[in-house]
Amino acid sequence: MQKTSLILLLALCASPAGMAQFYNDYELEPHGYFSKDAKDPTTLLMKRIQRGEVLITEANGKPLVERFLKELKLDKDTQVLVFSKTSLQRRAVSYNNPRAIYFNESVYLGWMPNGRIEIASFDPELGPLFYFQRQLDDKTSPLFARTRSCLGCHAGDATNFLPGSLGQSVYPDRSGRPLRTIDDYRRSGHHIPFHQRYGGWFVSGNHGAMRHMGNAIATRENGKLSIDREQFANLEKLDRFFRPDAYPSPGSDIAALLVFDHQITMHYRLVEAAYRGRQSLFDSKLDPGETDVSKLAKGRSMEEFMEGRDKVIDYMLFREESTIPKVSCDPGFRRAFTANRLPDPKKRSLKDLRLDGRIFENRCSYMIYSPTFEHLPPLLKGAIYRRIHEILTAKKPVEGFEYLEQDEKQRILEILHATKDDLPAGWL
């Protein structure tokens, strides 16, 4: 009898129910990645299509892509192009047939000629939900279905096993197959040195004397990888590689890529922090609307919460941003990106592009206005606001944020005060 009881106890301890739950157990409560009703833009659009409120009649390919860009409020001039085989449709992607990606603060849409549309659509609380177009010869199934297949990469070790966006720089061979991946978190971001960016991507626009890995094919000789960063530098057009008229837009603008780099990692850190915050509240047996950090259980709950907060703040304030050269900006991308710009009374905003030394004039991420940020647990959002205010108003520079000069800190304070209506009292 004692032996049987011991075996049962060991089995319970080894089972998922007997183990401690972690914030990246995204299918479980309090997260419910698959069980909760999704409110992301693509889910809402699919429901409108099902109700007959939106009629889709466009043919597969470019016409259908342009229709979905319109319906999901994506601008064709945000187009960036990747030719490495780093998507579900590896066979369709090549150096001569790159995959285009279009983005705004809630949706990323990918497509290549002779391929199917892929969408990562951000639910304000759950993070990215992934959708895949039905087979091109299928006329009866729903046009798009939410898929688990993308989670093999988008919820794997590269995203700490949470649903997340990815942008990789690789050493691509002639077929687009990655020979090696740049190893910094296996993702892009404004912290990646410029010379390590854009391997497997096409890049149009001027970037002066600094070099990246874009447009080029890697070679391996005697076990050593190399890539020619010089041959295809500073290209205004990409027509030597593929037919630009096959796509909604002809280029893959370097300014768009720099913004894309920043945004996908900012998106990921916000989602990760939200999951950490929800789990900490859940484990502390607190109401989701709690606003007093001191009520969190001491130990792991508090540590997870603070780590999520600090990761967001470090990235949001561009800590460790790598130096970039002075780069050009396609007018179409500038127009598309700044269309929802929120200026303060002095006409300054967090979307003001500098593109010389750094990406933005005012180093606080515009993603602070995104639905993902707005729907953070109130406890977490308040903690982020308070820490940002502390960093921007401290009489002596806060360690790690010495790069922010006084006039820039004052600008950020004033812009946020004028454009955010949920700041804590006493912001200025």
Range of lowest pLDDT (166-175, 299-308, 346-355, 410-419) = 166-175
Residue 165 — very low, low, confident or very high, per pLDDT cuts 50/70/90? Answer: confident
Report the C-alpha gap between 22 and 307 in whole angstroms. Answer: 14
Mean local confidence (pLDDT), 123-141: 95
204 phi and psi angles, rounded to 5 deg? -115, 150
pLDDT in tens, 210-266: 999 999 999 988 888 999 999 999 999 999 999 999 999 999 999 999 999 999 999
Q: At what angle do helices 378-393 and 300-316 cross, to 10 degrees?
A: 50
CB 362 within 8 A of CB 283: no
Range of lowest pLDDT (15-19, 78-82, 219-223, 371-375) = 15-19
What is the residue whose two structure tokens read 């259980």? 297
How high is the pLDDT of residue 426? Answer: 82
H-helix or E-strand spanning residue 409? helix 406-419
What does pLDDT average to over the chain?
Answer: 91
Give the number of other Cβ atoms within 10 Å of residue 57's Cβ. Answer: 7
CB 81 within 8 A of CB 254: no
Mean local confidence (pLDDT), 388-412: 97
H-helix or E-strand spanning residue 304? helix 300-316
Q: In whole angstroms, what separates CA 106 from the centre of its chain?
A: 9
Mean local confidence (pLDDT), 93-118: 97
How high is the pLDDT of residue 27? Answer: 83
Say if residue 11's pLDDT is above 50. Answer: no
H-helix or E-strand spanning residue 266? helix 254-283
Pick the closest to residue 107 from 34, 38, 161, 162 (CA basis).
38
Residue 24 — very low, low, confident or very high, per pLDDT cuts 50/70/90? Answer: confident
How high is the pLDDT of residue 87? Answer: 80
Which pTM does this prediction carry? 0.92
How high is the pLDDT of residue 152? Answer: 60
pLDDT in tens, 297-339: 999 999 999 999 999 999 999 999 999 999 999 999 999 999 9
